[in-house]
Structure 1
Amino acid sequence: MRKITAGLFISLDGVVESPEKWHFPYYNDEMAAAIANSAEILLFGRKTYDAFAGAWPEREAAGGADAGFARMFGDARKIVVSKQDLEFTWRNSEQLRGELVDAVTALREEPGGDVSMSGSVSIVRQLLDAHLLDELHLFVHPIAVRSGMRLFEEAEDSIPLRLLSSKAFETGVLHLVYARTAPTEETGYEDVKAHLPQDVA
């Protein structure tokens, strides 16, 4: 079974929109190592794919310092989620066929390497809801952006998560890795008051 992971740059106030406007001052070697991607398959929403396809093939062809990173993206199998029929010029690109949850479930149950997502917030939300996301990597930046789309929309149901690992970068960015978990039991003040400090004067 394949493991499905997603990575998102997120501000302290939960914004995930347009990270290119606020993320780069916090980019360093620690983050570069953390986002290095060895996944066999990259899963994209159409807008995120268009952004990647509009930049990385040219960077690979230019042969600059980032050409190796660009070649990694080019060599990976790329699957794009869209309700429109798409045509591709970037190599190893294809469109996901069928309903998202059914298609990703089938993909996850195949033998093979991991599936990774970068950005594509709407896809991340849907896979979290469907319990199909094995790991959610959040790179929490020490900045309050104060406007833009948040990762989680308002809804009646909560999404309980379990922290798998955490690391603080020198820039103040926190790399937090979560997985979905079972809902917690209902707990009130009477259940927790025994944990209050007992030696307070």
Structure 2
Amino acid sequence: MRKVVAWLFYTLDGVVESPDVWQFDYDDEMGADLAAKQESQDAVLLGRTTYEEWAGYWPTAEKGIGFKKFINSTPKYVVSTTLDKVEWENSTLINTDVAGEITKLKNQPGKDIGVYGSPGLVRSLIADGLLDVLTILVHPVFAGSGKERLIPEEDQLRRLELLDVTRGSSGTMILSYRPV
């Protein structure tokens, strides 16, 4: 069975929103971890917001050539109940029976299924028991109040098992967990 593997930028106070505002350094260790994740994946899940932002950027991006090649050529499954269609190359819309459709993807032969950004989708995957690995890149910064956190305060207790730790040269910690 394929695994669903999420990769998120994260602050010390748990913020996942707008990393373009607080994610200052991208070090070699982060790049190596991202490259390893890409090698082990042949599909990507995206939430609506990430899809809309990335579909307008990555097809013509001049930076991040390695990720550009990966994200443009890899099949993308866009999870949204509000979009009517997706037009980015290699994109398929999942807008009904989301948990069932993702379960079908997991049961197909292939490599892992990546999730980049898309914190709302990651929350849903956790709640539905569909997330197999959560990698958070904890940046040495506090984003402050009023920002979106990965898990809302009212959510239930969830245990995770630490799988891997890497300290980046920028001070960012790359932590991989598996839900217990």
Normalised to the residue count of structure 1, the TM-score between the two structures is 0.83
Give structure 2 stretches of 5+ with no counterpart: none
Runs (4+) of structure 1 exceeding 2 A deviation are 64-69, 84-89
Greater Rg over alpha carbons, structure: 1
Q: Which has the higher strand share?
A: 2
Q: Deviations over 1:32-61 (max 9, x none)?
A: 1112223111100010011111111011xx
When the two chains are superposed, the root-mean-square deviation of aligned CA atoms in Å is 1.4
- Which stretch shifts more, 64-73 or 132-141? 64-73
Higher relative contact order at CA 8 Å, sep ≥6: structure 1 or structure 2? 2
The match for 1:184 is: none
Task: Identify the residue that residue 76 of structure 1 maps to in structure 2.
Answer: 74
- 8 Å contact kept, 2:48–2:83: no
Query: Which residue of 1 is the match for residue 43 of structure 2?
Result: 41
Identity score, percent: 38
Runs of 5+ consecutive residues of structure 1 not aligned to the other structure: 182-201
How does 1:53-68 map onto structure 2 within 5 Å? 53-59=55-61, 64=62, 66-68=64-66
Partner of 1:195: none
1:21-40 CA-to-partner distances (Å, cap 9, x unmatched) read: 111x2212211111222311
In the alignment, structure 1 residue 172 sits paired with structure 2 residue 171: yes
Q: How many residues align?
A: 176
Per-residue CA distance 1:72-130 (angstroms, 9 max, x = gap): 11110001011134333321011015222111112111111110001111111111122
- Bigger mean CA offset, 166-175 vs 31-40: 31-40
Q: How does 1:1-201 map to 2 (within 5 A)?
A: 1-23=1-23, 25-36=24-35, 37-38=38-39, 39-59=41-61, 64=62, 66-147=64-145, 148-155=147-154, 157-181=156-180
